[in-house]
Amino acid sequence: MSETRLRADSARTVQTILEAAERTLNRKPTATMEEIAAAAGVARTTVHRRFATREALIAALALWAAQQMSDAVDAARPETTPPLIALYQATANALAVKLSWGFATNATLAPGNEAERIQAGIVERCDRLFERLADAGGLRPGVTSLWARRVYYALIHEVCQDAAAHPDTPFDADAVATQLVETLLHGVGTPGTTL
Amino acid sequence: MSETRLRADSARTVQTILEAAERTLNRKPTATMEEIAAAAGVARTTVHRRFATREALIAALALWAAQQMSDAVDAARPETTPPLIALYQATANALAVKLSWGFATNATLAPGNEAERIQAGIVERCDRLFERLADAGGLRPGVTSLWARRVYYALIHEVCQDAAAHPDTPFDADAVATQLVETLLHGVGTPGTTL
DNA sequence: ACAACTTGCATCACGAATGTCGCAAGTAGC
DNA sequence: GCTACTTGCGACATTCGTGATGCAAGTTGT
C-alpha cells in the first residue's frame, strides 16, 4: 500500500477529466472514452493512465458525486434541525449538487461499490428525517416515512431532469426547493377534494 | 407499397421477439441482439430478418408500447368523464401497461419517431385533463396544470420503478393507483403544516 | 403432395471501442 | 540546470456487436 506521491498538475488533470466526464456522459450516456478525453482536452491514453477501465472512471465519478451529495445533506444537519427546516435545507443543497452531477448520481454501479454505500447512507439519514417528521405529526395518517421518501426522491429526480432539459433557463435552487417541498407536503390538489 | 402476405407463424414470431426484447432490455438495457434472440428462443439471424437493425427493433418496441399506453389512457375517456374519475381510471390502466412494458415506454427514441408522436399525444390529453381539473377548482392556487402533470408522471415512474425492482411481490394496480392519486392531490404532509 | 415460406446454422466482413506500449517532448519541483 | 514525472501521439492487438449471405431442413397453407 505505498502511496505514490503526485505532482500538482496530475491532481488537476484528474479533476478536469472527472468534470468533463460528467458533462459528456450527462448529455450522452454512451459517450466513448475518446469523447470524454476530448471534452477534457487531453489525450485518450491519458484518461486510461488515470482510470484503468471505463468502469473505474465511472465508479470514481459516482464516488466523487456521492461524497458531494452526502456533504450537501449533512450541511442541513438533518438529525438535529427541526424536520421541516432540515428538509428544506437539504433539498436546496441536494438540488444544487444533483444539477451539477446529474449523470454521476444516477449512474448504474457495480454491486459492492463504495459510492453505493454512501448513497445508502444518505437514504438512511433521509428515512430518519421523515421518521422524525412523522413523529412530530407532520405526515398524514396512512403515509409511511418510506413512501414519503420515495415520493421525495421522485420529485427531486423530476425537477432535475427538467432542469437538465433546459440548460439555458436559469435555475433558482431556493425557489424550486420551496415548490418541491410544498408539493411534497400538500400535493397539487385542493385540500377538500377526494375520490 | 406492396403488402407482403405473412404466414401465421411469422406474425407469432414477431410477437415473441418483441415480448422477449422487452423482458431482456428491461433487466439489462445494453443487452445484445444475441441475448434478445436467446430469450425469444430464436436464432439471432431471425431477429435480423424481422428487424433490419437494432434501432428498428427498439423503435418497433416503443411504437407497440406507445399504442398500448394510448389505448389504456383513452379507455378512461379523459375528455368526457369527470376529471377525478378519469384520472383514477387512466392511472390504473396506465400502470398496468407500463409495468409490462417498462423498457419500451422509457426507451430513448430517434427524433421524428412515430412512438414519440403518440407519446406526445398522450401528454397532450393528460395536460387537457389537468386543465379540466384546474377549471373545476381541483388544483390548489399557484399550481399549474403543467406542474401537476409533471408530478403525476414522476409518481407513475417511481411506482413502476419500485414494482420492477420487486418482481416477486404482487402488484395491485387499483390499490397503487389509489395511493398515487391520493398522494398527487394531497401530498404526504398534514394539511395544516407549512414552511 | 406440392410450392412457398420460414427458420436454424455456419460463416464472413466490417466497424467501433477498449486497453496497452514505447518513445519523444514538455513541465514541475528541487 | 538536473531529475523525475507527466503528457501527447501513433501504433497495435483484441474483443464485441452488428449486419449480410448461402444453404439445408422444417413448416404452413392449399
Single out the residue of A190, A100, A95, A96 nearest to residue A152, CA to CA: A95
* Nearest nt to the A31 alpha carbon by C1': C17
B7 CA → C5 C1’, Å = 8
CATH fold group of domain A1-52: Arc Repressor Mutant, subunit A (1.10.10)
Q: Are B56 and B16 in contact (CB under 8 A)?
A: no
Closest-CA distance, B5 to chain A, in angstroms, reads 39
Other beta carbons within 10 Å of A102: 21
- The tens-digit pLDDT sequence of chain B (195 residues) is 334 456 777 788 899 999 999 999 999 999 999 999 999 999 999 999 999 999 999 999 999 999 999 999 999 999 999 999 999 999 999 999 999 999 999 999 888 899 999 999 999 999 999 999 999 999 999 999 999 999 999 999 999 999 999 999 999 999 999 999 999 999 998 887 766
Q: Are A55 and A95 in contact (CB under 8 A)?
A: no
CB contact under 8 A, B191 and A186: yes
Residue type, B60: A
DSSP conformation class of B172: -
Closest-CA distance, A191 to chain B, in angstroms, reads 7
What is the separation of C-alpha A179 from the centre of its chain, rounded to a whole number of angstroms? Answer: 19
Domain definitions of chain B by residue range: 1-52, 60-195
Looking at residue B195, what is its pLDDT? 67
Residue A105 to residue A115: CA distance in whole angstroms: 9
Option in A157, A190, A195 nearest B137 (CB): A190
Phi and psi at residue A143, in whole multiples of 5°? -100, 120
CATH superfamily membership of A60-195 = Tetracycline Repressor, domain 2 (1.10.357.10)
Option in B154, B183, B194 nearest A187 (CB): B183
A160-179 residue pLDDT tens: 999 999 999 999 999 999 99
B49 CA → D22 C1’, Å = 14
Q: Name the closest residue on chain A to residue B176, using Cα atoms.
A: A147
Residue A145 to residue B65: CA distance in whole angstroms: 33
> Greater confidence, A182 or A110?
A182
Q: What is the number of CB-based contacts under 8 A between chain A and chain B?
A: 105
DSSP string, A62-104: HHHHHHHHHHHHHTT-TTTS-HHHHHHHHHHHHHHHHHHSHHH
Closest-CA distance, B110 to chain A, in angstroms, reads 13
Residue B139 to residue A140: CA distance in whole angstroms: 19
Q: Which of B161, B188, B190 to mutate to test the interface with A (most CBs of A within 10 A)?
A: B188
